[in-house]
Amino acid sequence: MKISIIGTGYVGLVSAVGLAELGHEVWGVNRSPAKIEKLKKGQQIFYEPGLSKLFKKNLEKNRLHFGTNLTVAINNTDYVFICVGTPPRADGGADLSAVKIVAKQIAKFAKKDLIIIDKSTVPIGTARMVQNILKKNKHKFYVVSSPEFLREGKAVEDFFHGDRLLIGADDKQVAKKVANLYAKLKTYKMITGLETAELTKYASNVFLATKISFINEIAILCEKVGANVEDVAFGMGLDKRINKYFLKAGLGYGGSCFPKDVKALKHISKTNGFNFKILEAVLEVNMRQRKLVFGKAKKELSSLKGKTITILGLAFKDNTDDIRESAAIDLIKWFSKEGAKVKAYDREAQNNAKSVLKDKAFWCKNAYEACFGSQLVIIATEWPSFKTLDWAKIKRSMKKKVIIDGKNLLNREKMEKLGFKYIAIGK
């Protein structure tokens, strides 16, 4: 089939490459000429493991096309995926301006019947809104809600081996046509109504965020009573009703999805006259975890002014260069404001962080340079490579031997044997 993808950011590009790999011909549209030129040359515009090989393969097979002209793309295809950003507004609600712009452009320039698929995470009622905008065009448009469930760092795996493909539509035959685009995948295909599909995406993400905040609450209690949060989490996870996933205590969640989706669902609830009480606690706990680590650092160093602090990891999680809502970014801002010298390193996210933080940190070439002369090291991203660093070498180069492991990545016994004061979360 012929498909156009409007928006070639994280969701759009992964979807475009995945659909091309399934045998479809895909047109990717982005309004940035610079990004389109990179994509045409086979250059990824963000880091995602496993994507580059498939991207170049399908580009060479001429199944991927990129351009800035939305009109040309939609009139060469039968299916249009809307994959634009829906960032949070000041009130917590999702900003749908990009979705509206795309819908209006389709309504104005489409010269044929189309199936429109909302792939972006959008509030309940967005598909209806798109339907109303499209009424201005004489052609028939069928709007479907099919939200993505792609984890950054594992997006390729999730596209081809996801738990489910969710398709919401008024017309079941249209929903089946969309499902057939993924016929080669064994993924469970769930067909439901528009509003149900939109809410299911929010409910899924917010539940996972809640699970993270819950285990972080348990971590605080563990520190007070002398328990080990990792053992508690393991014991909980053995129960199949709970499972082991998202029970990792640390600096809290970040990224492009969980923070904005929790706020958005809270806003959706409020506008519908419902006080979703648990969401306020989820947000509060998540921010507290960052402040908790900041507080631990202040306690160790007394005054932060003039002290040298190392932040290892800048991405909100490993296997990505995404710094959106990253705890490391907040920590660097806070330490810098208190007069500390911050040295930072991340193998993938460094350029993104530097563009945001500018001179608030000294940007190092590797972890060893970042730790040299430091009085305290904070592990803020769970990059596996941090486990295998020569920590004995790092210890010799530090002024004070303190590590705050914000991801519980290292082995306490090993680090203490080397002579570090090792501070973990919930242990």
Instruction: Return the active site residues.
Output: 257
Distance in angstroms (rounded) separating the CA atoms of residues 239 and 216: 19
Contact 216, 289 (CB under 8 A): yes
- Biggest alpha carbon–alpha carbon distance for the chain: 74
Please return the burial class of 48, using the count of CB atoms within 10 Å of its CB with bins 0-12, 13-18 and 19+: buried
DSSP character at residue 189: E
Contact 146, 121 (CB under 8 A): no
Instruction: Tally helices (H) and strands (E) across the chain.
Output: 17, 14
For every residue of 1-61, DSSP letters joined together read -EEEEE--SHHHHHHHHHHHHTT-EEEEE-S-HHHHHHHHTT--SS--TTHHHHHHHHHHT
Contact 121, 202 (CB under 8 A): yes
> Half-sphere exposure of 14 toward its Cβ, with a 13 Å CA cutoff?
25
Q: Could you tell me which residues are beta bridge partners of residue 379?
A: 312, 405
Q: How far is the CA of 357 from the CAs of 165, 252, 277, 351, 362, in angstroms?
A: 38, 21, 34, 10, 10
Number of residues written out for the chain: 427
Distance in angstroms (rounded) separating the CA atoms of residues 403 and 311: 10
Here the tokens at position 174 are 């249209």
Nearest Cα neighbor of 272 from 123, 419, 394, 115 is 123
Give the pairing type, strands 64-67 and 79-82. Answer: unpaired
How wide is the angle at C-alpha 99 spanned by C-alphas 96 and 104, nearest 5°? 125
Nearest Cα neighbor of 262 from 201, 332, 348 is 201
